[in-house]
Structure 1
Amino acid sequence: MEGKHLHVRCMAHILNLIVQDGLKEIGPSIKKVRQMVKYVRSSSSRARNFLKCVETQKIECDKMLSLDVPTRWNSTYLMLDTVEKFEKAFERFDLYDASDDLDLSKMASGMKEKFKRYWRTPEKMNKMIFIASVLDPRNKFVYVSFALEELLGEETGNVVNTKVEAYLRDLFAIYVSKYGKGSKSQPSSSDSSDSSGSGISQNMSKNSLRTKLHMKKQKNDSGSLGVKSELDKYLLEDQEPESEDFDILSWWKVNSPRFPVLSQLARDVLAIPMSSVASECAFSTGGRILDPFRSSLTPKCVQCLICVQDWLRQETKPICVEESLESKGQDNEEIILLARDT
């Protein structure tokens, strides 16, 4: 009959698929039990401590803990059935075993020390990270202050928050001196004394003029009142509502007429990438290019090789070296070929 009767579905396999589909509902619980059994069985000392717990709880069972095969439902059932009988032993197991793994503990201690070396104290953290969050109109200092308090505690968080604000104001003052209008003292002719002899007292006019010029110089050195208050104005305004399609760069572009100096600061700060290639990578690349077989390359040639290699990797479309040679001439042939080989 052309082999129509040869194909019979495996009932055991179908049953396994059905049960496995049902076990997905309690998958996290089964995973925890499996890890618990694996932890006890992976060490002879833990197994002995577990047997002490079994004896203490006076549990009588001929079976011992067995690890299941996740793809076979019947082995999972046997594992759960056995574990259930030793439930009280697992509750007491914590008294005999503190779950300390000396190897992992040593490894974690080294990693923690490395973490503390760079991030242990807030002083080691670049304040530009917090300033970038302040320049997000959805956050400002309201969010940063709360986050610092949650991260470092109320007392330390307030101290760091004060330092971040002072750092931001110092940074803003530099931008005011660079981009602000009237950053240099330029006395106008209207500030000069009236030579018409209108009857104003000479001593009074000189003292008043001197005071006004001094006050104006201070204002101009620190920026005009309007420019200086840009940061305060920005911080006092309400936060922007949260939105998935919020574009922070577009927001600063639209609001740059209101914050001409602060928008320059935001543009520079927000342009800083959150991560970059480690500096060691550049040295490693240089070492691969300037190896013992290429020790006679000039510094300019090495620099060109590194740049060309970076450009080749960043191109979205594949670069045809032959076409590049024809269009650019043969002068750069050595550099391009070396970069491709590197």
Structure 2
Amino acid sequence: MPAPLYRGLDSYIRCLAHILNLIVKDILRNLGSGTMEQAQVACEFLQPGNSITDQSAIGRLRVLALWINRSPQRRQKWKHICKLNNLPDKFVAYDVATRWNSTFRMIDDGLKSRQQVNKFLDLQEELPPFTLQDWSWLEQIHTVLHKFNELTLFVSKRDPQISLAVPIYYELHELLEDMREGNGDFANLNQNIRAAVNEGMKKYEKYYSFMDDCDTYYTALVLDPRVKGELVLRELQDDNAGRMILETIRTNLHQVYAASNPEHDVAASQLSSLEQNDVESRMLRKLQARDPPLSDIDKYFDTSPISVADTTGKNWLCNWWKMHKGEYPGMAAAARDYLAIPASEVAVERVFSTARDVLGIRRYSLKGETIRMLMLIRDGYKW
């Protein structure tokens, strides 16, 4: 009886984009970045004679962006100041609560519009100006968030490959360690930012433990012929954990995908035809009574990773297994099961988000099945 492929919560795959979101939000929370709700309350408080002084640099930038965008007069004043100083008049986009990297974009806009912000605040009484220390703080946070933004965009692609989940976890750990220890690009990082990153590391360790207990991630990694088990052995070289993981995966694959080997079937049929009790038959039985040939699973594990010149094509990994399914039938069956799992839910949520365009004021009586079909057709047509 083969072992079941998926085992409930033990095989649960967590969205990588969501994990990144939780890690960065913990970092921002410990930096006192504030929330959109707090910014809205601050904007209501901003009246002639009132000012805000208890907000962090990120919080005040958010309040400024929201405050300008709330009023046509202030937007016009911003444009006028920019025009007088021959500066771009692009507004600083305020962030939204559901996307952490909108905070990164807001800070990015703010740093690019540093001159515009300073000149605008020089003419305001309600909002205090940004000091050099504030701008330095924002630049350091921007450096930290820029790396997370790259990873977020990578795992938010239409087809995020599950085989890259383990490398992303390893890279994320190195990134957090460098930030916490002040290595490389983060050598001048403020101690308070490092402390906040340490809180993000705690969230990372929680979800890494979930990943480490699930064979699905490691099996998907092994199914990349460029890597196989080499990355696991290199990252876990201090103990025997890497070899144990690979042996467990190999055993599980044998149990689930123990399909008959075509070469072995041919050998067995030849032996069955040699049941005669003459000299020739006995000679051939002795020659062919060897161990059966290696299964394609063992053959795949025991050969070195391959070198692929071009992997930029769409779904190249699935296409590679399609081309080599005759050589590795068992492993190809595993690839069909495991590589169909997405690394994040962003693409699915993106499809759901189109429902607001499908279900409008003139189309509010559509049946659920009709909406489902329209959303799927729209998504398929778009791509």
| TM-score for both structures, normalised by structure 2 | 0.35
Which protein has the larger Cα radius of gyration, Structure 1 or Structure 2?
1
| TM-score for both structures, normalised by structure 1 | 0.38
